[in-house]
Chains A and B, each alone.
Chain A
Amino acid sequence: MAKKWKITVDRDLCIGAASCVALAMKTFALDSENKAVVMEGEGDPPELVKLAAESCPTKAIILVDEGTGKQEYP
């Protein structure tokens, strides 16, 4: 079964560099403060979300494995 992420964005760290939006545009968007938010809905495949999180230059995206409850990134 494919992994599912519980995705959190640390708003204090996020600077709106938008690399997450560029890589996983069905999952991330920028809000009215130019900070990343997680969108509702199907989203992107888990490995693309992982790549997007890893691409964040401020490590503001936190990924927890929904199955195990373990934080996998950062």
Chain B
Amino acid sequence: MRNVDYLIVGGSAAGTTAAEVIRSRNGEGSITIVTDEEEEYSRVLLPFYSRNKIKREQVFLKTPDWYKQKNIELLKKTKATGLNCADHLITLSDGEEIQYGKLLISIGGRVIRLDAAGSQLENILYFRTLEDTDKVIKAASSAKAGVIVGGGLISLDFATCFKANNVGEVTILVKEPYFWANRLGPDSSKVMVSVLAKNGVKVLTGEEVERFEFEQGRTLFKGPTLNNKVATVVTKSGKRFECGVVGVGIGIKVDLEWIAKAGVKTNRGILTNEYLETNVKDVYAAGDCAEFADVIFGRQHMMGNWANATSQGQAAAKGMVGERTIYETASSYSDSFFEGTYSFIGVTDMAFADEVISRGSVESGKMTQIYIKTIGRWPRGASGPEGNTKRIVGATVINSAGEVAPLTAAVKGKVDVSFLVDKLADTNFDLNQLVN
């Protein structure tokens, strides 16, 4: 049986950053990364690749040489399937067992598959891995019409990709009453939908897939696909959409079963404290799969974005080499779709915030929503008078890129905005005043 000082399960942003940070502090210890894919590539670049903005080889961040130079072993196309915490053992999909000194779990998430009749037909696709992206480009480049299921960031990536690959008619089906209703206010949603409409993408709300057909009236329920391609989407309301490609983006979940079985505490993700340590000694978690104790917001928090993954990889790695580090970052996620941009900052959850301030208008094509929470006493670690403070805990920013930096700084700096709340809605009020 092999014995590794630092074992990292998951080879994307968090895992690779962690390996590099461990190596920079410990030149001797053995480091192994287990990944179910190939070399690390940038998930953030996949949409750009799908839009023909960059070439396929440009998505790779590390070369095979890099792993060699850093003396980091990479086990590709391999998954961890079992964990025995008492004996410090990981079981791999090929049956091998590896004993670890310290273990980092950074497995990210896995797409939730759509459960509808015929959903295993060809050209019903997801958008998470490089392999997915290859398939999406191939299917889109020969499709006259495309249907997208789900209204979230993946639907925007699909829509932009489909149009860039000359798919004529593109329709997004969302079951909610409006587009991206679980993350955006109605007006922010309207701004996005109008950018989509300008670019020939239709959004239909209150629509759920009933079945997929490969030819008139015929669907597949179980078993082999017999190379049958999707031809029609039929919704529960009875609408029919002819199409050559279907993009599904209905969320991700973390593959927790083997981890929970080993006695590591989990909820939606792997539960950690502010040091990214799990309840089990020598086992850490970072990135999309970690549900960490967030010291900025004082609660358990999951963040699925690149900046969070890399900086958690760094913090966990420091802990693994004996420099215990509190993870404290208010991260943001920004992306573009057609000519539009959007960002999510901090916690944008109505159940957590007390009020939401809208800044901008549908007419101007710009909308920012600022989430405010009244914190009963001065936040931990800060000096100041006792009493109620109002803090910006998060924001959604559509088409106002310049507001991202000051809002992120205000969240991170736990700025008291009690006396400014009335001004935040005024677009003439410069948000940089929050932090200067």
- If over half of B's interface residues share one DSSP class (helix, strand or loop), that class is named, otherwise mixed; here it is helix
Nearest-CB distance from A49 to chain B (Å)? Answer: 12
B334 to A54, Cβ gap below 8 A? no
Given A17-B334, A21-B307, A54-B20, A34 contacting B405 (CB threshold 8 A) = yes
Measured CB to CB, the nearest residue on chain B to A16 is: B334
B408 to A15, Cβ gap below 8 A? no
User: Is B235 on the interface with A (CB-CB < 8 A)?
Assistant: no
User: Is B148 on the interface with A (CB-CB < 8 A)?
Assistant: no
User: Is B343 on the interface with A (CB-CB < 8 A)?
Assistant: yes
B331 to A22, Cβ gap below 8 A? yes
Contact pick for A23, options B42, B311, B336, B401, CB 8 Å: B311
Given A32-B402, A33-B402, A18 contacting B334 (CB threshold 8 A) = yes
Encode A1-30 as 1/0 by CB contact (under 8 A) with B.
000000000000001111101110000011
User: Is B341 on the interface with A (CB-CB < 8 A)?
Assistant: yes
User: Is B45 on the interface with A (CB-CB < 8 A)?
Assistant: yes
B311 to A34, Cβ gap below 8 A? no
A16 to B404, Cβ gap below 8 A? yes
Interface residues of B in 19-58 (CB under 8 A from A): 20-21, 24, 42-45, 48, 58
A15 to B44, Cβ gap below 8 A? yes
Inter-chain CA distance A31–B314, complex, in Å, is 24
A29 to B306, Cβ gap below 8 A? no
Inter-chain CA distance A17–B61, complex, in Å, is 15
Inter-chain CA distance A16–B401, complex, in Å, is 9
Chain A hits for B13, CB < 8 A: 19, 55, 57
Given A17-B44, A34-B341, A57-B44, A51 contacting B408 (CB threshold 8 A) = no
User: Is B358 on the interface with A (CB-CB < 8 A)?
Assistant: no
Contact pick for B314, options A17, A18, A23, A33, CB 8 Å: A23
Given A32-B402, A51-B17, A58-B42, A22 contacting B336 (CB threshold 8 A) = no
Measured CB to CB, the nearest residue on chain A to B333 is: A17
Inter-chain CA distance A58–B20, complex, in Å, is 18
Inter-chain CA distance A55–B336, complex, in Å, is 19
Inter-chain CA distance A59–B334, complex, in Å, is 16
Encode A28-58 as 1/0 by CB contact (under 8 A) with B.
0111111100000000000100010011011
Measured CB to CB, the nearest residue on chain A to B341 is: A34
Chain A hits for B331, CB < 8 A: 18, 22
Nearest-CB distance from B250 to chain A (Å)? Answer: 23
A57 to B45, Cβ gap below 8 A? yes
Inter-chain CA distance A17–B13, complex, in Å, is 13
Interface residues of B in 331-348 (CB under 8 A from A): 331-336, 341, 343
Inter-chain CA distance A21–B333, complex, in Å, is 12
User: Is B310 on the interface with A (CB-CB < 8 A)?
Assistant: yes
**Most chain A C-beta atoms within 10 Å of own C-beta, residue among B17, B307, B314:** B307
A55 to B405, Cβ gap below 8 A? no
Interface residues of B in 389-420 (CB under 8 A from A): 401-402, 404-405, 408
Inter-chain CA distance A29–B432, complex, in Å, is 13
B20 to A33, Cβ gap below 8 A? no
User: Is B329 on the interface with A (CB-CB < 8 A)?
Assistant: yes
Chain B hits for A21, CB < 8 A: 307
B311 to A17, Cβ gap below 8 A? no
B21 to A51, Cβ gap below 8 A? yes
User: Is B300 on the interface with A (CB-CB < 8 A)?
Assistant: no
A32 to B405, Cβ gap below 8 A? yes
Chain B hits for A15, CB < 8 A: 44, 334-336
Chain A hits for B61, CB < 8 A: 54, 57, 59
Measured CB to CB, the nearest residue on chain B to A22 is: B311
A18 to B402, Cβ gap below 8 A? no
A47 to B24, Cβ gap below 8 A? yes
Closest 5 CB pairs of A and B: A57-B44, A34-B401, A32-B402, A30-B405, A19-B307
25 contacts between A and B (CB under 8 A): A16-B343, A16-B404, A17-B305, A17-B306, A17-B333, A18-B331, A18-B332, A18-B334, A19-B307, A22-B308, A22-B331, A23-B314, A30-B404, A31-B402, A31-B405, A33-B402, A34-B334, A34-B341, A47-B24, A55-B306, A57-B43, A57-B45, A57-B306, A58-B42, A59-B61
